[in-house]
């Protein structure tokens, strides 16, 4: 379906929409390189849903990225998180499983939608050896990556048989085009007292998430809550310690009914565009060569796209990144820095805690942008 032919909101079916032209590079999740020089984001003026107009023009493009052999072989899924509760960085899967543990009954049945190589399921198995684990992904080639005792479903959610105490949708919901059908299946396979766990980038805390070019939807807490309510789900806030600072992290239980979608005030995309403009102007004022950029995700990818050849290296505390390269440049651990290094932290006002920590623990001149 071409973007020009999208007549209705994919969620509430309203015909009232606003289309924003975003003249900044859109990046892919696989390696955070530029996949197109700009894009269009649609906003439903009735329910506030934000959708990638270009992905609807070519919906097969998004799916093809995640069934490609190169993606399967890359296997870079160990995303580490620094938490005051643990001395060393831990994986997001480690934290997710421990966040959810207290909500699970004995011998739980768990389904991970978008399971890829099963790292989250492995964490649940570590916590509860008798858990009944199921994984779903769009490509049957995922099967060899999973533990042998995981029941694997592929391609079509309609294939999934059974009911579950917990359904996980971690960094997956933005890639599912038919959001209505997703929730039909969730209600079908969720146990009466079960919960759905969702984690997704938060546009409010990280505007750069609007530059993902390989997703169908973009989320704020208000948008996600509105969608859940529309399909009869009640929201539970489970990340009280804010372990995932730039993501929405929540759980939801099905309470029944369908509630009217809420009209959301203050369009966010114009604010994101102004934010990118301000960051670009500030970055272009730097006269340094061989600048460092902290991080190896979309924030760093955008910063690198603006600075171009003046980027000399990247910096990351993630132990799996050490000795590797990001966008053709070496990734250093911050303990390798000297006082002559200038490192940009592209995390805005929500990066103040990161700035304080890095400036205290390591050498180098850290600049929060």
Q: Domain residue spans in the chain?
A: 3-69, 74-254, 286-368
Q: Kindly state the tokens that stand for 351.
A: 């990066």
Please state, in angstroms and as integers, the Cα–Cα distance from residue 80 to each residue in 88, 145, 168, following that order: 10, 20, 19
Q: Report the CATH superfamily, name and number, of domain 74-254.
A: Vaccinia Virus protein VP39 (3.40.50.150)
Judge whether 74-254 and 286-368 match in fold: yes
Q: Which residues contact 281 (CB under 8 A, 6 or more apart)?
A: none
Provide the CB-side half-sphere exposure for 179 (13 A, CA). Answer: 25
pLDDT 10s digit of each residue in the chain, 369 long? 444 456 788 888 889 989 999 999 999 887 898 989 999 999 998 888 999 998 876 666 666 666 566 655 655 556 767 666 776 778 889 999 999 999 999 999 999 999 988 999 999 999 988 889 999 998 777 677 788 888 989 888 999 999 999 999 999 999 999 999 999 999 999 999 999 999 999 999 999 999 999 999 999 999 999 899 999 999 887 877 778 888 999 999 999 877 777 666 568 999 999 999 999 999 999 988 899 999 999 999 999 999 999 999 999 988 778 888 999 999 999 999 999 999 999 999 888 888 999 999 999 999 999
Paired residues of 339 in beta bridges: none
> Could you tell me if 191 and 133 are in contact, meaning their C-beta atoms sit under 8 angstroms apart?
no
CATH class of the domain defined by 286-368: alpha beta
Q: How far is 321 from 80, CA to CA, in rounded Å?
A: 10
Q: How far is 225 from 235, CA to CA, in rounded Å?
A: 7
Q: How far is 168 from 13, CA to CA, in rounded Å?
A: 27
């Amino acid at each position: 379906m071409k973007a020009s032919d999208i007549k209705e909101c994919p969620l509430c079916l309203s015909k009232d929409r606003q289309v924003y032209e975003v003249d900044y590079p859109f990046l892919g999740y696989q390696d955070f390189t530029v996949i197109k020089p700009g894009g269009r984001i649609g906003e439903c003026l009735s329910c506030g849903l934000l959708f990638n107009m270009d992905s609807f023009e070519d919906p097969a493009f998004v799916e093809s990225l995640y069934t490609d052999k190169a993606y399967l072989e890359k296997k870079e899924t160990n995303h580490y998180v620094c938490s005051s509760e643990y001395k060393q960085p831990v994986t997001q899967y480690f934290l997710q499983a421990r966040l959810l543990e207290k909500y699970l009954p004995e011998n739980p049945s768990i389904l991970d939608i978008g399971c890829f190589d099963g790292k989250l399921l492995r964490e649940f198995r570590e916590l509860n050896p008798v858990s009944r684990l199921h994984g779903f992904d769009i490509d049957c080639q995922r099967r060899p990556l999973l533990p042998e005792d995981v029941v694997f479903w592929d391609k079509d959610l309609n294939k999934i048989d059974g009911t579950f105490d917990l359904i996980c949708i971690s960094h997956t919901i933005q890639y599912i085009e038919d959001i209505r059908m997703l929730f039909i299946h969730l209600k079908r396979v969720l146990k009466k007292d079960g919960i759905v766990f969702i984690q997704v980038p938060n546009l409010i805390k990280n505007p750069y998430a609007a530059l993902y070019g390989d997703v169908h939807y973009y989320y704020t807490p208000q948008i996600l809550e509105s969608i859940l309510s529309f399909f009869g789900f009640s929201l539970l806030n489970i990340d009280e310690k804010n372990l995932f600072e730039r993501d929405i992290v929540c759980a939801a239980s099905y309470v029944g009914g369908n509630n009217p979608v809420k009209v959301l005030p203050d369009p966010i995309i114009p604010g994101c565009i102004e934010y990118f403009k301000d960051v670009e102007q500030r970055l272009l004022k730097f006269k340094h060569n061989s600048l460092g950029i902290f991080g190896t995700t979309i924030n760093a990818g955008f910063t690198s796209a603006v600075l171009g050849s003046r980027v000399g290296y990247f910096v990351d505390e993630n132990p799996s990144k050490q000795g590797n390269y990001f966008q053709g440049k070496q990734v250093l651990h911050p303990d390798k820095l000297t006082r002559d290094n200038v490192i940009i932290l592209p995390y805005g006002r929500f990066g103040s805690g990161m700035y304080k920590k890095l400036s205290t623990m390591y050498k180098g001149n850290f600049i929060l942008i």
